[in-house]
Amino acid sequence: MHKHDYLLYLKSLCFFQDLNHNLFKKIVDASNLHYIETNENITIHNKQNLIIILTGKANVHIKESSGLQYKIGYLNSRDVCLPSIFLHTHVNNSIILEAAQTTSYIEIPFLFIKNLSCKEPALKRNFLRSLHKSLLITYEEIFNLMSKNK
């Protein structure tokens, strides 16, 4: 993907919509772009970082301290993940994001986003919208699974 196309794609994501150019540039400059192949794990450099899946799909696994690992969901293109959300509810466990297909993603320091969103209402709105979408889809999937088991 050419740089111009990449930047247009980012601007199409809910997280980046309607942000002024300077704010958009600050976020892009603070982020790191990664590519991984199928069955490789997304390295979580910091549990507080925000991960946005650009292309591909990643399975989300929880690994318990006992060694037991189980899938709790997945992330598709355009999904936003904050690994610390999963880990606060799963004490003494770790989260593993495994590529189900070739995947590209960006990682953005959460504290950087938190500090910027205090000054930039559009960024705070986009961040909440992005997480809301992910949480709503997860809730619907869990509800559907529970309905099938009755």
N- to C-terminal Cα distance for the chain? Answer: 46
Pairing of β 41-42 and β 32-36: unpaired
pLDDT of residue 92 exceeding 60, the answer is no
Token pair, residue 143, equals 């509800």
- Cα 57 to Cα 60, 71, 81: the distances in Å are 10, 14, 12
pLDDT of residue 7 exceeding 90, the answer is no
Of the candidates 77, 76, 84, which has an alpha carbon nearest to the alpha carbon of residue 46? 84
**Looking at residues 92-99, what average pLDDT do you find?**
80
Q: What was the pLDDT predicted at 1?
A: 59
**Looking at residues 94-120, what average pLDDT do you find?**
91
Of the candidates 45, 50, 43, which has an alpha carbon nearest to the alpha carbon of residue 123? 50
**From start to end of 29-137, where are the E strands?**
32-36, 41-42, 50-55, 57-63, 69-76, 80-81, 94-99, 103-108
Q: Which residue has the tokens 């466990």?
A: 93
Give residues with Cβ within 8 angstroms of 107, minimum separation 6: 31, 32, 34, 45, 49, 50, 51
Give 3-148's CATH code, choosing from 3.30.70.2860, 2.60.120.10, 2.40.420.20, 2.60.40.420: 2.60.120.10
Spans of all domains in the chain: 3-148
Confidence class of residue 145 from pLDDT cuts 50, 70 and 90?
low
* Pairwise CA distance, residues 118 & 104, whole Å: 28
pLDDT averaged over every residue in the chain: 82
Per the model's pLDDT, the better-predicted residue between 68 and 4 turns out to be 68
Per the model's pLDDT, the better-predicted residue between 125 and 82 turns out to be 125
pLDDT of residue 90 exceeding 60, the answer is no
